[in-house]
A and B are shown apart, each in its own frame.
Chain A
Amino acid sequence: MDAMMQAALWFWFPAIALVVGTGTALSSRSESIKKLSKIIAIIGFILVLLSPVTVPESPSSAAGHLLGSIIGPCALLTTGIYLLAFSGNVEVGKLTSRDRKIGSACTFFGLIWLEGMHWWTWTPMLNGEVNPYWLVFWPTFLLLSTGLSSGAAFSLRYLGHLREKESNFMLVLSSLTFALTVLGMMLDGPNIAAETFRTHFWLAASDIFGLGVGVGLSILVFALVIWIYESSLPPAKTLDAPSQQELSQAASIISDHIGGEQE
């Protein structure tokens, strides 16, 4: 079997199964299809994770390696945030104070783990080099987190009522990711030099901007297709205006049902 076929079999088909399975599991109404989609998505996910072993010569398998490397800290961070949010002041389904401590620990270690991938020796390495997709993921995550946290802070301040404390918390979060990005641009990590990080920061910014324009264009085309179709439809059939007899009949029915003085 040639290299292309092997990559298709061990990476691309599982990746498609993962995306389609997740989409179907989230959108299907049938319980049996949902269950089947979940199984397909899980199998796809495992095969994508195993792709650095099954097709090590394919460059795409670096994505499977990255997924395997970041799944731990990302799961810790997500679980931590969930536990912290639902162990606070919520009316329904409040978690215990023990869950809050676990949530704090998960969030803290998730962040440390992610930071250690840049500032320490935990960087995802493939064949002796930094995984190229880590250099896509990390600057993109920092850049988006800074912007979105700042946006959330100002939304709380301007759209919320008496939410200054929460807004300040989000500003601190935004400043933290901002500072981490600036530090990455100026100081060398053990595996990623500051210049390399700056280059990939620019590439991540270009990526986000390009993706935004591309997605915007496709939405515009989608709206255009629907508008052209809708404007080609014949106008909807409207009913004739009611006759005098119909109006007086309606008036007599209405008068029978209002008032109540006869009772």
Chain B
Amino acid sequence: MTDLIPSAVLPWIPLVMVVLSLAAAVAIFPMGERRVRLRSWVNLSAAVAKVLLVVLLVPAVVAEGTRPEFSVPFLPLGEGESIDLVLRVDPLALFFAGLSALLWLLTTIYAIGYLERGSDRSRFFGFFSLCVTATVGISFSGNLITFLVFYEILTLVTYPLVAHWGDEKSLRAARMYMRYALSGGVAVLIGVIWLTMYAGPVDFAEEGGAEGVAALAAESPGVAVTIFVLLVGGMGVKAALVPLHSWLPSAMVAPAPVSALLHAVAVVKAGVFGIVRVIDDVFGIEVAEELGVLGPLLAVACFTVLYGSYQAMRQTELKKRLAFSTVSQVSYVVVGVSMVSALATAGGVVHLVHQGIMKITLFFCAGLFAEVIRAHTIGELRGAGRRMPWTSAAFTVGALGMIGLPPTAGFVTKWQLGLGALDAGQGWVVLVLLGSSVLNAAYFLPVVWMLWFAEPEGESGEAPDAGASDEAPQPEGEPQREKEPGALVVPAVITAVATLAVGLGAALSFAPLQVAEAIAEAVFR
């Protein structure tokens, strides 16, 4: 299989993948507003190329164990040495990069449709590509410094996306986001500096943490714990761990594709991905366990799972409900990796992808509801199922996945996490998982019920925003089927199908679960 990519080219591929979306951004920024076709073409071809590269890398990295690596000297460190910017492809990196490449493609299609008549599209798509550049950089980071660099870049390039509409509300949300993310970034920076000075430059080690860190943990555990708290706390801001989550629901003012990307791959996931890296590849799970930091983290994550669900239940606005649902769902990953068990780690890692696919489906649908029938609150979704069947079906699949019903992806995660909890001797976590499922059901099922079974309200138009129904006068009582724009509905349906597919095909080789299990096994060696 090495024939697919000559080995001389291999080290350059991670760089190419980062540069690909960067180049797309650079090409898009100066384009005129009206050059829709050219812009879409550049965007889509870069996205497709990225997906192809990931597919090419999978056999070499996962099956054959090669680790393509690219590095440039970045920061000097003492005599003639330096800390490098390292891009390295290991299975976990590829796992995350694959998710971001695939969802970038779908979200780009969606966004092209969504912003058809919008303004500032060149700026939007430019920063969108930059956002993906940062995400890919994060996934390929081979050491903490590289991670930090891309992590901060991600913070910056997301700001214009959140502030895209340019009204007071967006700017306020963006400012809040910036405040949270920068504070988190500074915490991570301090942690990295401290760790570098005390334990040497830290490369991500696939197999159980870096040596220097283990030595530091043995020598002065107090410092090691402080550094762990700084790193995980800083990343916890992006990962929206309670109590650091408030920025996420307010960032909902961003355009739907941005929310979708933010919640599924970019910002929130970057935070969680970082936490996975810190626990598994910097400290090593055994060292972290000895330091006694995993217990408290697990408790925080479990609390976040329940609290997020509880808050989600109290929201009447669909996007807000989804946002709190993200707070809850993303913490599953942290729950998984903070239990000392290969099964649990695999469950946590696989949820990186599973949650991404499911949540992006839901956000695509939320955007569709908002665009087509101007439905922003749950109440306005009455009877939408008959007006927008495809969207509603996709939404239903996503919602069922979130609840964790078989045969969706969500079920696989929860099953795996439950097994892991028992394996790690933390039976109470199963109760948390069950409780969360009940809560998930409690806030998603009413929406699904609204979609399919609630009678649409009369045309009196109580809903404040029922403007769209004016355009298409409907016969009394019989809801008319709306036209669902293809560019918007197709990505949603694809991700919905994927939600089912990764659930059903979890046992196939190269399925997310299998890759996640391989990664987890490497962590426990």
Q: Do A and B actually bind?
A: no
Q: Which residues of B contact A (CB under 8 A)?
A: none
